[in-house]
Structure formats: C-alpha cells, structure tokens
C-alpha cells in the first residue's frame, strides 16, 4: 500500500527525518511527532493513519504510555523503536500492544521492510471473499473484513497480531499449532527457540476474550505441543 500514511514518533529529529526520507522514497505519506503527546494529538486530528513507528524512550509521554493510550481505540500496526535490546524491554513493548520491535541502531531498509510486512498483514483482510469474512464459534464472532471481534455481542479490541493469531486458530478449530508454527505464520519470520513472543500474545488474547483467563474456554494449551481453539462449547 504505497499511499499509506505512517506516523513517525521519536524525540530525535535526525532519526525522524532519516526514516521519513526512506519512507517517502517508497511512496508513503509521513507524519512526525516528537513525543507521545504530540502523537496522540495527531491521531485525533488525522483519522487515516495506517501504521505507527513509536520510540520507547521519550519525554512527556513515553512509548509505553502512548501505546497503551493508542490501543484504547485504534488497531493499526505499531512498531516499537528503542535503543534497549534486552528481552524484558521487548516483552514490555509487545505486552502494551506493539506488533513489532526494532532495536537502535537499525538499518533504515530493515525498518521499511518491517513497515511493508506489517501493512500487508493488516490490510489483507479487505481482500477476503464474503464467504470467508465471519467466523462464529460459540459466543465468539470474528470478522476478517472489518477486523472486529465480539464476545456476547460486546466488541473486543485486539492488536493486528492478536487478531492474526486468533483468526489462525479459529480457521482451524481443534487443530493444535506449535509456538513455532504460530510465530512463522503470523510474523512471517524464522522462529527463535528462546523467544516467548507468542506466549505473551496468547496471554493477552485470553485476557481479552476469556471470562476467566486462568481457565480458558476458547484457547486451550496442549502442554508440550502448542495451542488450539476448541471446536465446541
């Protein structure tokens, strides 16, 4: 989607401008913000933002708090950008609703590639045929065209990655997917044995769709194997 609008949020103007140049070269529209507060103001003014690149460490309102605020009502992909490379920082970013994580210093071409990949995953749902649009399992309704999920007629807001995992399991009810299979199908990247990204996303999915996340009704853990979504209730 070459005409997509990207919001670049970083307190370093040099980084903002460098990334903007690379994104402009790919045909994207780019908006810039110096901190989380500016980003939230732009989101209120500009409805058509397709993806956000969000720095973790910023003054006034950091990336974690900004991500939490954004996820209260918006579902576009968020790529977290940070000088911190520790696993706990990555998990924290993903736990707050980010879909991807890039560590500084980074290659701008890699960041552009991740932007394209996240946009492809997010926008592909509009190409589904009418027969593929809605999946209903018990009180769980998943609409792939509108990217909406409802439980007992109540809308549940999911991140694009959370939605992709839920859709994968719901389109194959009863089938067990390993952590590696889920990661490679949703993230489209090779799986690293020590990476617990899928587990973090499954936990947050359960918190959003299960009445009791500790005793899940929908997403079941098959110990030593993986996860599945139950066929019947």
Res 194: pLDDT: 57
Rounded Cα–Cα distance for residues 36 and 186 (Å): 28
- Residue 164, φ and ψ in degrees, nearest 5: -60, -40
**Which of 91, 108, 118, 117 lies closest to 10 in space, CA to CA?**
108
Residues 6+ apart with CB under 8 A from 176: 222, 225, 226, 227, 228
**pLDDT 10s digits, 102-157:** 988 899 999 999 999 999 877 765 455 445 678 888 899 998 878 889 998 899 99
Helix (H, G, I), strand (E, B) or coil at 218: coil
Write down the residue that tokens 């399992």 correspond to. Answer: 137
Instruction: Please identify every stretch of the chain with a pLDDT value under 70, giving residue numbers as ranges.
Output: 1-2, 47, 85-87, 124-132, 193-194, 232-233
Contacts of 121 (CB under 8 A, 6+ apart): 77, 160, 164, 186, 188
pLDDT on residue 48: 83
Indicate the DSSP class of residue 124: G
> In 46-107, where does DSSP find H-type helix?
63-70, 87-95
- The pLDDT value given to residue 18: 95
The pLDDT score that the predictor gives to residue 32 is: 95
* 35 close to 12: Cβ distance less than 8 angstroms: no
pLDDT at residue number 130? 47
Among 202, 198, 194, which Cα is nearest to 86's? 194
Cβ(128)–Cβ(142) under 8 Å?
Answer: no
């Amino acid at each position: 989607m070459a005409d997509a609008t990207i919001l670049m949020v970083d307190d370093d103007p040099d980084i903002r401008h460098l990334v903007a140049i690379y994104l402009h070269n790919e045909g994207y529209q780019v908006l810039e913000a110096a901190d989380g507060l500016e980003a939230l103001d732009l989101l209120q003014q500009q409805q058509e933002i397709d993806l956000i690149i969000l720095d973790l460490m910023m003054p006034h309102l950091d990336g974690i708090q900004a991500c939490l605020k954004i996820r209260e009502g918006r579902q576009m992909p968020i790529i977290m950008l940070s000088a911190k490379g520790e696993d706990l920082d990555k998990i924290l970013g993903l736990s707050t609703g980010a879909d991807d994580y890039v560590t500084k210093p980074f290659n701008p071409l890699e960041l552009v590639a991740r932007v394209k990949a996240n946009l492809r995953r997010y926008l592909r749902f509009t190409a589904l045929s009418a027969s593929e649009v809605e999946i209903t399992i018990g009180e769980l309704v998943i609409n792939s065209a509108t990217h909406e999920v409802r439980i007992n007629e109540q809308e549940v807001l999911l991140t694009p990655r959370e939605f992709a995992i839920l859709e994968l399991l719901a389109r194959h009810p009863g089938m067990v997917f390993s952590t590696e299979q889920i990661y490679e199908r949703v993230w489209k990247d090779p799986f690293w044995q020590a990476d617990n990204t899928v587990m973090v996303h499954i936990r947050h999915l359960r918190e959003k769709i299960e009445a009791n996340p500790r005793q899940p009704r929908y997403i079941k853990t098959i110990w030593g194997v993986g996860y599945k979504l139950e066929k019947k209730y």
